[in-house]
Amino acid sequence: MPKQDNMLAILWMLNSGVKITAKQIAEKLEINIRTVYRYIDALCASGVPVISDSGHNGGYSLLSNVIRAPLLFDMEEKKALLHAALFAKEAGSPMSEALDNAAAKLIGYSNQEQEQVLSRHLAGFEVINRMEPPSVQPVLAELEWAVANECSVELDYRRSREEHAKTRLIDPYGMVYWNNKWYTVAFCHLKNEVRRFRADRILTIKRTALPFKRPEAFSARDSFLHNLLPDPAGMEGLMTLRIEGMPDALDDLCMHWFLGHHLKERTAGQAVFTLEEESIHRYVPNFLLPYGKSLQVIEPLSLKERLVAVASDLVEYYRL
């Protein structure tokens, strides 16, 4: 029997609540008693609270029967965990090294047949994602620590249009991975409100001794999406955006991270959105131009005029 199987068997024996000797373990597992001693030492080194009593009625037992239920996974659960680890690692998780170790243990504590099945499934499953630069990993690790320990951090943060970084003191409430980027949703002491900060724009980060308390039932995901995609209900100046075109292009447009949030109606050859007039004229032209002639704006007429102006500006720019 492989070493890991023997150690697991010893663990279940100890968890029975009955004191058992090394000789009894050796006889049940048909192994040398010195091997039992090595396995017991290995269990202790891994953090298992093994109690050793000497004397006539001595033996081994576990402290307060610590293992309440066996942590065993079936094959589907193992495959799901390994696939999830691949997604998290490819997204640049600050726990990438720990994920590798956990995946190795999950495979290592499987029998030979299970290991072959897992290897086949992993060989045919890959995730492609735009990786964050290496400098982001230490930032993510510090943010993860600050979120878990509710400790404020000081950072030098430079926004895309700023030439110089600004020092901020923030209380990180949570972390969000969105559109191939990592963000932290945090209370900013400078602005006195909850804001989002992109991890790759954090130049330096430093722990402080200042504790904070995360608001009850706070969701970083909900806060992030609300800030990114505010609810149009009750807004003034809403307009109807009606677009016709090829079904594939319309499908793609309806799944757009911004326009999809404002989708009101979708038919075979048409999509209808409702959003603010400013957004239609400021952002939508940039969303539509890459589709070329596969899409056609039906209304509003002002958007057509805006598309002509944007396209003309591009033509003039590239003529220089």
DSSP string covering 174-201: EEEEETTEEEEEEEETTTTEEEEEEGGG
pLDDT at 11: 83
Residue 54 domain flag: yes
Domain-ending residue, one of 227, 259, 275 = 227
Give Cα separations from 58 to 18, 21, 25 (angstroms).
11, 7, 13
Enter the tokens of residue 206.
Answer: 């430093």
Query: Per-residue pLDDT for 75 more than 70?
Result: yes
Out of 34, 65, 96, a domain closes at 65
Place of tokens 């007429």: 301
42 band by pLDDT with thresholds 50, 70 and 90: confident
Residue 298: alpha-carbon gap to chain centroid: 40
Predicted confidence at residue 233, as pLDDT, reads 64
Q: Are residues 119 and 145 in the same domain?
A: no
pLDDT > 70? residue 65: no
Report the chain's C-alpha Rg in angstroms: 29
Which candidate, 97, 100, 95, 92, places its Cα nearest to that of 129?
92
pLDDT value at residue 1: 62
Same domain (yes/no): 304, 261 = yes
For 104-145, the pLDDT digits (tens) are: 888 877 777 888 888 888 888 888 887 777 888 899 999 999
232 occurs within a structural domain: no
pLDDT value of position 66? 58
Instruction: Check residue 290 and report its DSSP letter.
Output: G
Band of the pLDDT at 310, cuts 50, 70, 90? very high
Residue 249 lies in a domain: yes
Average pLDDT over residues 58-68: 71
The neighbouring-strand residues paired with 265 are 272
Phi, psi of 260 (to 5 degrees): -60, -30
Buried-state track 32-62, b at ≥16 Cβ within 10 A, e below 16 = eeeebeebbeebeeeebebeeeeeeeebbbb
∠ CA 174-165-150 to the nearest 5 degrees?
25
pLDDT value of position 12:
81
In which band, very low, low, confident or very high, does the pLDDT at 241 lie, cut at 50, 70 and 90?
A: very high
pLDDT of 87 > 80? The answer is: yes
Tally of structural domains, the chain: 4
Contacts of 155 (CB under 8 A, 6+ apart): 167, 168, 170, 197, 202, 203, 204, 205, 206
Instruction: Tell me the mean pLDDT in the region 208-236.
Output: 87
Least confident of 44-53, 191-200, 242-251: 44-53
What's the pLDDT score for residue 115? 83
Same structural domain for residues 37 and 61? yes
| pTM listed for this prediction | 0.68
pLDDT higher than 80, residue 91: yes
The bridge status of strand 295-299 relative to strand 202-211 is unpaired
Residues 60 and 80 in one domain: no
Is 158 or 134 the better-scoring residue by pLDDT? 158
42 and 115 fall within a common domain: no
Round the average pLDDT of the chain to a whole number and report it. 88
Q: Print the domain residue range for 16.
A: 3-65
Does residue 67 register a pLDDT over 60? no
Between CA 198 and CA 178 the distance in angstroms is: 10
Kindly state whether residue 233 falls inside one of the protein's structural domains: no
Question: What's the pLDDT at 64?
Answer: 64
Give the DSSP letter of residue 20: B
- Domain end call among 194, 227, 260: 227
Q: What is the pLDDT at residue 149?
A: 95
Residue 295 in domain? yes
Q: At what angle do helices 96-108 and 112-123 cross, to 10 degrees?
A: 140
131 lies in a domain? no
The answer to whether the beta carbons of residues 126 and 86 sit under 8 Å apart is yes
Whether residues 98 and 46 fall in one domain: no
Name which of 116-120, 211-215, 264-268, 278-282 the model is least confident about: 116-120
Note whether 141 and 175 are same-domain residues.
yes
Please tell me the distance from the alpha carbon of residue 65 to that of residue 146, in angstroms, as a whole number: 34
Q: Do 276 and 243 belong together in one domain?
A: yes
pLDDT tens for residues 177-188?
Answer: 998 899 999 999
pLDDT of residue 7: 84
Residues 207 and 147 in one domain: yes
Provide mean pLDDT across the span 18-42. 89
Question: Which percentage of the chain shows pLDDT scores above 90?
Answer: 51
Ordered strands of the 238-245 beta sheet: 263-267, 270-276, 238-245, 295-299
Tokens of 53: 């009593």
With a cut of 80, say whether residue 176 has pLDDT above it: yes
Is 57's pLDDT higher than 90?
no
Position 153 in a domain: yes
CATH number of the domain encompassing residue 32 = 1.10.10.10
- Which amino acid makes up residue 205? I
Q: Do the domain assignments include residue 165? A: yes
For the four alpha carbons of 19, 24, 26 and 29, in that order, the dihedral sign comes to negative
Strand segments, DSSP code E, in 67-192 are 151-157, 166-178, 181-188
Region 89-93: what's the mean pLDDT? 86
Q: Which pLDDT belongs to residue 273?
A: 95
